[in-house]
Structure 1
Amino acid sequence: MVKAIGTVFSSLSHLIHQFYLFPCRTLEAFWDFSRCYFYALAFWSLFCAKFLHLYAHIHSLPPSKLVAWGITFYFQDVVILLLLRVFAQKSHTRSRLRVALDVLVVVPFSLIVSVMAAANFSVYVFTGAEIHWRQAKSFTGDTAAIRTLLTGLTGFLIGEVLLSMIAVISARPIHTLSGGILHVLAWPFQWLLPRLRPYVKRPLQRLRKRNQQSALPDPEIYERIALEDDYLNDSSDDDESDFLIGAPAGGSSQELGRVTERTLPRALMLAAFCLFVVLRLCRPSDPMYWYLSGSLPMASLFEGGHHESPVNVEGIPSHYGYLNAASSLRPPPAFGWMPSEAAPGFEDWNKSDTYALHYNSEIAPLHISNLDQPVLEPVRRALADGHVKIKHVVLLKLESARADIFPLRKDSFMFERIAESWKDKVIPEDALQRIANLTPTAEYLTGFPTGFDDGNTSQPEKKPYGGLSAKNAYTTSTYTLKSLAGTLCGVTPLVADFNREWEHHIYQPCLPHVFNMLSQQPGITKETDDFAKWPFHSVWMQSVTEGYDNQDKLTPVLGFEDKKTKEIIESPDAKHPVKGEEVNYYGYADTELEDYIRDAIDNAERDHERLFLTHLTGTTHHPWGLPGDEYSQILGSQNGQNEDLNRYLNAVGFVDAWLATILGILQEKGVANETLVVMAGDHGLSLPNDGGITPYDNPHVGNFHVPIVFAHPQLPPVEISAPVMSDQIVPSIIDLLIESSSLSETTTPVARDIRSLYEGQSLIRPLIQEKDGKQDWQFTVMNTGGSWLSVRSAAKPQFRLVIPLVNDVEWRFSDLNEDPNEDRPVSRFSLLDLAETIRKKYDQEVLHWLWDAAYVSNWWVGENWHRYRYVPGK
């Protein structure tokens, strides 16, 4: 063993010494060995990446266009590979400097494109979406984001190894074939140059006679220099006998050379290449063709780009012409209760800024108010009794919460998906018992029956907790941090990639700002037992990091100064040391906050403060880690997506139990009957539908449909079946505080004025889907924010349109009545192509809805930017 190690060490020392003495000779040896391999690596990386790219968008082009122009999508890749092959040649006449230059071009290029191809493969397998390289820079300086990316390391390594193995096996044939093609392409020049020689030689001779002092070399010398390249001579490829992989020279290389020497094969190959070029030149200039044609190394430079207008609606008819010059921004209304110095969240009322504009719901062209409607009758009766009092408000933002698992119902798609994993779709009794007991707290809070037998539930004797539960609720954004702004501020998030809200103008006061403003009104004091006169105190809690994508900057902008996050609870001076290990790459299990929630309630009761506690859960985030890695078997098969789904459902059960713990704490502290508990998903998860482990660039409806619940034990159970959005939570909370007489005499009129500011309708009143020909349009900013926008109308909620905001994603339409799980959405890169497909499949009513949705969205995106005072590209 020692002898073998010594031999290896001696060999390495010898190689290092040789490189030190003869660096150029070593470089040439390395090049002779690796030029075929690295060229093949680049070849397979580019072509596999393009195949994946086209596969991901195969249904986005009409078949006729795909057949006509499909081959031209490889044009950039072919040109790049032909140029790279020039650098990957072997020529004994080249200088060592030229060899070094070739190495410096081919090797780094091949490694870079192979890394990009493997990374794209990994992301596509795990998320169902390709990498948008223009967004990649947002991850480089973010530690939490890098930890997120590392979860795909296994897939990346598998992709890289596969590319390397294929390159090793096929190195010589690929290198030889490419050389033969270049040899054929050089044939016309070989034929043409000798015939042009006389015409070039005579002018040069005259020029030489005129200027004897600076005589030029004989033009024949130039010709010989040019023809020294091994693709312009009579051999189809160079001598590669020193390459370690493949047959010796004289095999396939010589056979290909003999073929390319014959006139007919040469002519056929050249004609095919010319046809390829002609097709590319004749291809229409369309952004979708440019995107599909983009070669992998060019994607990071030229990918995407905004349309000239936010939404490309050129050439479509519309009845919304009045939107062209419309705006919802006006000088803020004058309120007598507003302090002379603008408070946080109310900066638009700063008297020193004479140009400040604020969203005005009265003139907003798409706004429909329901504040003139009476409170829902069951709620009105409960409020009339005087038993509904709201001292504290707890808002729970539930990570990756699908509506069909809150609770998990027997007639849902999720249950069918679980059944499919078992043999003959029959779930064993013990597994059925686990499924029935997975979400009892959600069933208790919503009052939605799950369909399981009472004997299988852990809380069959409990009546519903009480409150309002929405069955058809969508999130304002499928990106968590943007969703927070929508839920807490009653706005639709900024149409821009990633968390940019914190550095722009969030155009409505968030709930902490509202409560802070109420606390500044006359008569608010801690020196009383009447909680309606107590000031509010807002607290933010999460057991995961706030370092991801500038969340630590967003939370204070939302109005939270008192925070309990991973960074705080794991610090040495934390009041309650963490009890367990981190469960995912973001942080700890949600249960680490149990003592902090107790403390918050105790402090509020002691100090005569009204608690507004917001808690973002994190355990249901990928990879769905649980304390102790304790998982029950819910799915029958644990292969592939089923393993992920089993982990996800276990995490859902864990969070359901955590919600029960929170309700228990409220009961323990004696504040349950005076606490409004609001729950809303930040986004769903399409994992059981298409295997997506994240909503990143995934337009599937499973990522949009979330639970929204207003729970209070003194309210009757009320099911809301109308389509709603999470931006309706803020006005609904304020409305409920007003109507339950939970505010003082001085703060109630203030709350009424603030309630009127918001664009969302109140959930405790009848919801209006359409009024005076105006539909209630509902927008969702898709993860990560700047590529796609989803829109639906409450008047016709079965239709969904996903709209591209950049040139490299598609239009997508689905009819949820026909296709509730979106197994067959219609995708096209062009709105006109999408409209033509819909025209053939549906009636004119659907086509008109499509036009209206596109036109309204075009206006709304620009309006969204104006509200946030955001300029794209800055």
Structure 2
Amino acid sequence: MKGARTLLFSGSQTSTGQTLDAFSNFARCYFYALAFWSVISAKLLHLYAHLYSLPASQLIVWSVTFFQDVVVLLLLRIIAQRGRTRPLAALGALVLIPFSLIVSGMAAANFSVYIFTGAEIHWKQAKSFTNDAAAIRTLLTGLTGFLVGEAIIVAAAILTGRFVHRVAGGLLHVLAWPLRWLFARVSSCLSPLRQRLHIFPIRNQYKDLPDPEVYERIALEDDYLNDSPDDESDYAYDDHHSPRPITDRPLPRALIVGAFSLFLLLRLLRPPDSVLLFLSGTLPLTTVFQGGHRDSPIDLTGVPLGYSYLDGAETLQPPPKWSWMPKDPGPGFTDWKPDNHDLHYDNAKNPIHISNLQEPLLEPVQKAVADNNLKIKHVVLLKLESARADIFPLRNDSFMRNRIARSYKDNQIPEDVLDRIGDLTPTAEYLTGFSTGFGQDNGIQRSRKAYGGLSARNAYTTSTYTLKSLEGTLCGVSPLVADLNREFEHHIYQPCSSQVFDMLTRQAEITNQTDNFTLWPWHSIWMQFVTETYDNQDKLMPKLGYFDKQTKETIEDPDAKHFPLKTEEVNYYGYADTELKEYIRDAIDDAESNHERLFLTHLTGTTHHPWGLPNNTYEQIMGSNKGHNEDLNRYLNTIGFVDGWLQTILDILEEKGVADETLLVMAGDHGLSLPNDGGITPYDNPHVGNFEVPIVFAHPKLPPIEVKAPVSSIQIVPSIIDLLIESRSLPKDSISVASDIRSLYEGQSLIWPLIQERDSKQDWQFTVMNTGGTWLSVRSAARPRFRLVIPLINDVEWRFTDLTKDPNEDKPIMRFNLADLAHTIRKEYDNELLHWLFDAVYVSNWWVKENWNRYGYSPAPKNVGR
């Protein structure tokens, strides 16, 4: 046989064919191994990411069934076998090669995202980034991780290609054995009948083979096990005295068939739970998995009967009638158009709203008003990118300080580094009145007293996604519970700050022909030195009332007033914030000369990943660059840079003579869990470090006031309006207008005593998590130690933390369903906490549906489950 084959391939044309066959054999092994390692590595990462989300009993019982990938890989192995003809082999290659390339790319991308963010890719969201140039630049930051992951998979495929291919073939050989046995017996029984009826005559194609055993093996044997780059190794052509392969031995056959039978049995017995189906997901099928159907935004399975007090409650009502409302109300007030029949949010109809307007004004604010010292001509609102509460300022007794210490031997920070840390955030210390405790001679305790104003100790953002966070801070609303920026397409249900100022400007008494600034018109301007093209921000800003803007796109224009720029781009979004210095000066000068009141809003960007600085100059703060320490060192350096930028803004206000008449509002868009879990972005990361932000209302004529009660950035807009009203910084008629508008907002004003609970009604505070449609975080101001993260889709976990026992959320309780979560909590807490848990779930479900109604948003099924 070998001689015949050698003769057959002896010609030059035959050599070419032999080369092609050899390459084909290598390609089949390589691409199959590439698919194998991609699918298996993706599954292992998937299970690792959710390892503690199932009770141990369920994990043990059903773990075997999570590897349905084996079935997919065995089917793929059938496609990857040696074709009997070249056209058949080419057809198999058309399936195998694209499949393996796709899954290897997906596995490497998932690996990269998990390393950098701590979360897996949600493939349904991924397609939203592909049409966004700014988003593509963001994704490219993970290119190194992607290339490393891809290189590992490719190397594994090259090194193990033949072995993986043969082992999978061996498994198929064993699993096909019962079918071959059955086919042989049926054929034997039917053979006399077929001969008698003269149908399907059996061709004596193996009559030259002397041994019946060899006959059977050639007639029925596939090449699963013995398919190898060397065709001569096919044992079907070997002498029948050759040793039988291991897969033909009884014990291996029994073990393999038994294991596969156990898999099938457990899979048949496994409950039809969407969570178990999610854990069994296989690339690339996970991209189309939609999860189970839900009748409500939140899965209420497990909530006891009796929760019905919000059923049927609706907050949308006809808007109130106000005599001062113009016939053409303009942006933000379209619900008041004469020919409009749309409804508007009404606090009086909100069953979970608590008002504090009936309380007396905070005594320190009341004294400043009585002394006639508090005047507000201009408002400057700074939205601080990735600003954690515990770095505004960075305090000596904080987690961040201890985290820095852990990077040094014996947790001892050198004196020079300690001085460096103490000097990192002096402006934040000055503005908040919160002492850092480091004792440097640049702090409030020695060289200068506190600037003055209200500073919140326990503040959460309304969203950990920057663009959604803007609505909470600028419009006093909860962002839309939907993935990414969709607010610009829907009805933002309250007027935003700039639109309120525009309405005040339209009142009859307003004029710039006077030196009385309270009568001047308002002018709103938006500033950021990063791009506004990311996720349709350029379409969102006009919806928020901003038409005068300075962004990366405008300042790069050669016709821009201060072109060319003095620095290069510091990250994939744009330039350092300090490039705005002259534009801020111009805005104040223009406002003063035109007798206008300035509402300047500035989104900082330097503290965004990858934390670049002009000239790439960094001080060493961390003791080691291992792990995430290098990223943390860069982040802390940008924190110090932005703190210096805030001082520059204060200097400009002083320089222009408007510091004593400017309200400076600062709020973080979200925090950053980088020092906790290494997360470089809040994307799908429920850690509390992404939620806690600074909120400060700074004014030199206010005494330092510490707000200890739990608050949210949804309370900023009503607080600004209240400060304008109470300080008499508005003319008489405008005070009445502002008071009416103030009554619209659901957030409690910070200049009145805050009420956490009244008549068994709790002040619930919601945070729409990045990117909006996956998780919802909820806490109660009455019981802020408890924090619940609720899944809005079926393939992420419930998460509960007790911040008194676990302030840094090192050991959150995570379960895939509410019943398991409640069962785990019941072991440690009393029934009172369970009541809080079920109440939080019930209220949140009502609130999400209410949120959709207010925005006029109709979620498609994909928004309920992925």
Partners of 1:143 and 1:548 within 8 A in 2: yes
**What residue identity is the alignment partner of 2:143?**
L
1:660-809 → structure 2 map (5 Å cutoff): 660-809=647-796
1:302 is the counterpart of 2:311? no
**Counterpart residue number, 1:419:** 405
**Counterpart residue number, 1:212:** none
1:470 is the counterpart of 2:456? yes
Please list the CA deviations of residues 344-395 of structure 1 after superposition, one character each: whole Å capped at 9, or x if unmatched: 00111122122x0110001111110001111100111011111100000000
Out of 799-808 and 168-177, give the one that drifted further. Answer: 168-177
What secondary structure is seen at the aligned counterpart in 2 of 1:89? coil
Partners of 1:541 and 1:614 within 8 A in 2: yes
**Counterpart residue number, 1:48:** 41
**Counterpart residue number, 1:147:** 137
Please list the CA deviations of residues 503-523 of structure 1 after superposition, one character each: whole Å capped at 9, or x if unmatched: 011000000110000100111
**Counterpart residue number, 2:6:** none
Out of 724-733 and 231-240, give the one that drifted further. Answer: 231-240
Residue 164 of structure 1: CA displacement? Answer: 1.1
The CA distance in 2 between the partners of 1:372 and 1:62, in whole Å, is 48
Out of 28-37 and 54-63, give the one that drifted further. Answer: 28-37
- Aligned with 1:857 (options 834, 838, 844): 844
Residue 779 of structure 1: CA displacement? Answer: 0.2
**What residue identity is the alignment partner of 2:509?**
G
1:449-468 → structure 2 map (5 Å cutoff): 449-455=435-441, 457=443, 460-468=446-454
**What residue identity is the alignment partner of 1:632?**
E
1:135 is the counterpart of 2:125? yes
The CA distance in 2 between the partners of 1:114 and 1:146, in whole Å, is 20
| C-alpha RMSD of the superposition | 2.5
Residues 832 and 793 (structure 1), Cα distance of their counterparts in 2 relative to 1, 3 Å cut: same
Residue 108 of structure 1: CA displacement? Answer: 1.1
1:371 is the counterpart of 2:375? no
Residue 220 of structure 1: CA displacement? Answer: 7.0
Please list the CA deviations of residues 708-761 of structure 1 after superposition, one character each: whole Å capped at 9, or x if unmatched: 000000000000000000010000000110000000111110000000000000
1:516 is the counterpart of 2:502? yes
**Counterpart residue number, 1:562:** 548
1:492 is the counterpart of 2:487? no
Residue 241 of structure 1: CA displacement? Answer: 4.1
**Counterpart residue number, 2:62:** 69
Residue 199 of structure 1: CA displacement? Answer: 6.5
**Counterpart residue number, 2:382:** 396
Q: Please report the TM-score for the alignment, with normalisation by the length of structure 2.
A: 0.93
Residue 32 of structure 1: CA displacement? Answer: 1.4
Please list the CA deviations of residues 479-506 of structure 1 after superposition, one character each: whole Å capped at 9, or x if unmatched: 0000001110000000000000110110
The CA distance in 1 between the partners of 2:306 and 2:360, in whole Å, is 32
The CA distance in 1 between the partners of 2:681 and 2:832, in whole Å, is 34
Residue 100 of structure 1: CA displacement? Answer: 0.7
Please list the CA deviations of residues 571-610 of structure 1 after superposition, one character each: whole Å capped at 9, or x if unmatched: 1111002111000000000001000000000000010110
Q: Please report the TM-score for the alignment, with normalisation by the length of structure 1.
A: 0.93
1:637 is the counterpart of 2:630? no
1:384 is the counterpart of 2:377? no
The CA distance in 2 between the partners of 1:115 and 1:248, in whole Å, is 34
Q: Percent identity?
A: 66
Partners of 2:435 and 2:443 within 8 A in 1: no
What secondary structure is seen at the aligned counterpart in 2 of 1:705? coil
Out of 262-271 and 691-700, give the one that drifted further. Answer: 262-271
Residue 197 of structure 1: CA displacement? Answer: 2.6
**Counterpart residue number, 2:826:** 839
The CA distance in 1 between the partners of 2:119 and 2:273, in whole Å, is 22
Please list the CA deviations of residues 427-448 of structure 1 after superposition, one character each: whole Å capped at 9, or x if unmatched: 1111111100000000000000
Please list the CA deviations of residues 650-704 of structure 1 after superposition, one character each: whole Å capped at 9, or x if unmatched: 0000000000000000000000000000000000000000000000000000000
1:573 is the counterpart of 2:573? no
1:648 is the counterpart of 2:664? no
Residue 426 of structure 1: CA displacement? Answer: 1.1
Partners of 1:28 and 1:96 within 8 A in 2: no
The CA distance in 1 between the partners of 2:650 and 2:170, in whole Å, is 74
Residue 316 of structure 1: CA displacement? Answer: 1.2
**Counterpart residue number, 1:541:** 527
The CA distance in 2 between the partners of 1:752 and 1:453, in whole Å, is 44
What secondary structure is seen at the aligned counterpart in 1 of 2:701? coil
Please list the CA deviations of residues 552-584 of structure 1 after superposition, one character each: whole Å capped at 9, or x if unmatched: 000110000000000000111110021110000
What secondary structure is seen at the aligned counterpart in 1 of 2:619? coil
- Aligned with 1:238 (options 226, 230, 241): 226
**Counterpart residue number, 2:574:** 587
What secondary structure is seen at the aligned counterpart in 1 of 2:663? strand
The CA distance in 2 between the partners of 1:865 and 1:61, in whole Å, is 31
1:113 is the counterpart of 2:99? no
Residues 456 and 559 (structure 1), Cα distance of their counterparts in 2 relative to 1, 3 Å cut: closer
Partners of 1:236 and 1:257 within 8 A in 2: no
**Counterpart residue number, 2:5:** none
1:83 is the counterpart of 2:75? yes
The CA distance in 1 between the partners of 2:856 and 2:138, in whole Å, is 31
Consecutive unaligned residues of structure 2, counting only runs of 5 or more, are 1-11, 208-214, 862-866
**Counterpart residue number, 1:9:** none
- Aligned with 1:820 (options 807, 812, 823): 807
**What residue identity is the alignment partner of 1:238?**
N
Please list the CA deviations of residues 226-255 of structure 1 after superposition, one character each: whole Å capped at 9, or x if unmatched: x99999517662342449xxx9888xx999
Query: How many residue pairs end up in the alignment?
Result: 839
What secondary structure is seen at the aligned counterpart in 2 of 1:538? strand
**Counterpart residue number, 2:30:** 37
1:297-336 → structure 2 map (5 Å cutoff): 297-304=284-291, 307-317=294-304, 320-336=307-323
The CA distance in 1 between the partners of 2:205 and 2:695, in whole Å, is 78
Partners of 1:230 and 1:237 within 8 A in 2: no
Residues 794 and 583 (structure 1), Cα distance of their counterparts in 2 relative to 1, 3 Å cut: same
The CA distance in 2 between the partners of 1:458 and 1:861, in whole Å, is 43
What secondary structure is seen at the aligned counterpart in 1 of 2:718? helix
Residues 432 and 74 (structure 1), Cα distance of their counterparts in 2 relative to 1, 3 Å cut: same
Please list the CA deviations of residues 238-289 of structure 1 after superposition, one character each: whole Å capped at 9, or x if unmatched: 342449xxx9888xx9999622212333133212211111111111111110
**What residue identity is the alignment partner of 1:84?**
L
Residue 169 of structure 1: CA displacement? Answer: 1.6
**Counterpart residue number, 1:99:** 89
The CA distance in 2 between the partners of 1:740 and 1:574, in whole Å, is 38
The CA distance in 2 between the partners of 1:435 and 1:83, in whole Å, is 59
- Aligned with 2:147 (options 153, 157, 170): 157
The CA distance in 1 between the partners of 2:219 and 2:605, in whole Å, is 60
Residue 89 of structure 1: CA displacement? Answer: 1.1
**Counterpart residue number, 2:537:** 551
